Amino acid sequence: MTVDLLIRIVLAGVLGGLIGLERQMRAKEAGLRTHILVGIGSAMFMVVSKYGFADMLSSDHVALDPSRIAAQVVSGMGFLGAGTIIIQKQVVKGLTTAAGLWVTAAIGLVIGSGMYEIGLYGTVLALLVLETFRRISHLLIGKQHTLLVNLKPKSVPLVLLVLQRERIRYGHIAVVNRDPESGLCELSVEVTLSRRASTGQLYEKVMEVKGVSSLEMM
C-alpha cells in the first residue's frame, strides 16, 4: 500500500511536469517546477484526504468525509492561479497558465485517488490543447499581438486607418498615459496577424504615420 501511494505522488509530479515543461518552453509565468509541485501537493492532499484518517474511523461516534481536504485544493488553486494572471499596460496575461495549473491540480487529485488511466488521459488531453490547438489557432485565425504606440493624440485615427488598409483585425483599443510635457499618449491595440502578414511591413507603415514616436509589439 505504501509503495502504491509513493508511486501515485511521483507519477502526479511527472505528469504535472510535462504540462509545466510546455509552459516553460513558452516562457510563461509558471513553469516546470511550479507544475511539479502542484501535482505532488495535490496528490498528497488526496492521499491524506482518502487514507490519512483511517485510524480514527475505529473510534465511536466518528464519521469523516474523505473528500473534505481534497475539495479545498480546488478553491485553493484559485489563489495560485490568480498569481499567474497579470495586467500589464491594459493587457491581461496568464489566463492559460492559470488554467494549466488548475488542470494540473485536478490531475494530481485523480492520480492520488488511484485513477491512473484518467490522470494519464487528462495529461495527454491538456498537452494536446496547449500545443496542437495553439498551432491550429495560429494557422486558421492568426497570432495575437498587442501594439503599444507612443504618438500624438490626433494620430490615433491615422494608425487605426493603417490597420484597416493592411486588413489587420484589431480588437480592444485603449489610450493611456498622456504626457503633458511632450503631448504624447500611448495607444494600446490588440491585433491578430495571419501567417502571411509581415510584422516588419506593419512596423514601417505605422512608423510612417505623422505624430508616431515609437512602436512596440508584444
pLDDT digits (tens, 9 = 90+) for 184-205: 888 888 888 877 777 788 888 8
CA pair distance 42, 61, nearest whole angstrom: 29
Torsion angle of C-alpha atoms 154, 156, 157, 158, degrees rounded to 10: 90
Q: How many residues are there in the chain? A: 218
Domains assigned to the chain:
2-140 (no CATH), 143-217 (3.30.70.260)
CA pair distance 171, 189, nearest whole angstrom: 7
CA pair distance 204, 184, nearest whole angstrom: 19
Between 101 and 172, residue with greater pLDDT = 101
Between 27 and 90, residue with greater pLDDT = 27
- The answer, yes or no, to whether residue 111 has pLDDT greater than 90, is yes
HSE-up of residue 46 (Cα within 13 Å, Cβ side): 23
Span 102-129, mean pLDDT? 91
Grid coordinates belonging to 205: 507603415
Task: Classify residue 123 as exposed, middle or buried by CB count within 10 Å of its CB (0-12, 13-18, 19+).
Answer: buried
Output the pLDDT for position 171: 78
The owner of cell 490568480 is 82
Between 76 and 36, residue with greater pLDDT = 36
